[in-house]
Amino acid sequence: MSDAAFWILAPVMVVAALGILVVRKPVHAALLLAVVMISLAVQYAALDAPFLFAVQIVVYTGAILMLFLFVLMLVGADAVDTVKETIKGQRLSAIVVSVALGATLITAVTQGVASLDTGLADANQGGNINAIADLIFSRYVLAFEVTSALLITAAIGAMVLAHQERLTPRRTQAELAAQRVKDWKERGLHLGPAAAPGTLATSNSVETPALLPDGSHLETGKPLKEVRS
């Protein structure tokens, strides 16, 4: 079963992974990444690793990939990346790191294949989940705790970077409604909410200005970057 799953899904995973590198639209790249993740989960299931199968589906495919898609929808899927190098030497550094990472992965896989002296039945003796738990909390407990600390540090760092100090107290819903009525009375502004960015446009991104039915830009539907500036 595992051999059949490998020979069927491995070419699909390779083609999808190569497609991630060549497709032009980020949404298509995310969908191809989903193909790779789901195929990898099926490989885990074929190798009698139900815990890794569930983690691959729930955590990576269900959570991280959805986060990628939400970020793409937030920043805009029609954005064009610039090829201008803003940091000197970043291409050379990326090539060196990629080669080093590839060599490390090839060495690890080669040593792992060469040292396979036990079958799946021996490795999963007592249950796959029990065996993984025994390894994580015994032989690799230090690496597990260090990884947990790094993830927590990254989450706290993201919160600190995204946090903005509020100089004035948050206005209540009643105050906002009263201000709308006041603006309508004094300046003739419409009581309803402004059109969301991307309305009637070819993209629903917050970076795309809202359009009127005739195709002109709506002044009150400015892109998010203009509102922030």
What is the rounded CA–CA span in Å between residue 27 and residue 66?
11
Contact between 26 and 77 under an 8 Å Cβ cutoff? The reply is: yes
Alpha-carbon dihedral angle through residues 36, 37, 38, 42, given to the nearest 10 degrees? 100
Going through 110-149 in order, the beta strands assigned E by DSSP cover none
Mean pLDDT, residues 114-124 taken together = 61
Q: What is each CA distance from 202 to 64, 122, 227, in whole angstroms?
A: 27, 57, 20
What is the Cα Rg of the chain in Å?
Answer: 25
Mean pLDDT, residues 136-153 taken together = 86
Does the structure show a pLDDT above 70 at 85? no
Q: For position 15, what pLDDT does the model report?
A: 92
Does the structure show a pLDDT above 60 at 225? no
Does the structure show a pLDDT above 80 at 37? yes
Q: For position 223, what pLDDT does the model report?
A: 55
Q: For position 117, what pLDDT does the model report?
A: 53
Q: For position 229, what pLDDT does the model report?
A: 41
Q: Where are the domains of the chain?
A: 1-79, 120-165, 173-228
Confidence of residue 168 (pLDDT cuts 50, 70, 90): confident
Q: Is the pTM of this model over 0.75?
A: no
Query: Which of residues 79 and 55 earns the better pLDDT score?
Result: 55
Query: Which of residues 203 and 108 earns the better pLDDT score?
Result: 108
Contact between 196 and 221 under an 8 Å Cβ cutoff? The reply is: yes
Residue 47's contacts (CB-CB under 8 Å, 6 or more residues apart) are: 2, 120
Lowest-pLDDT choice from 3-12, 39-48, 99-108, 119-128: 119-128
Mean pLDDT, residues 51-68 taken together = 82
Which pLDDT tens digit goes with each residue over 3-22? 787 888 888 999 999 998 88
- Look at the domain 1-79 and name its fold: Four Helix Bundle (Hemerythrin (Met), subunit A) (1.20.120)
Does the structure show a pLDDT above 50 at 90? yes
Query: Which of residues 112 and 166 earns the better pLDDT score?
Result: 166
Q: For position 200, what pLDDT does the model report?
A: 65
Q: For position 228, what pLDDT does the model report?
A: 42
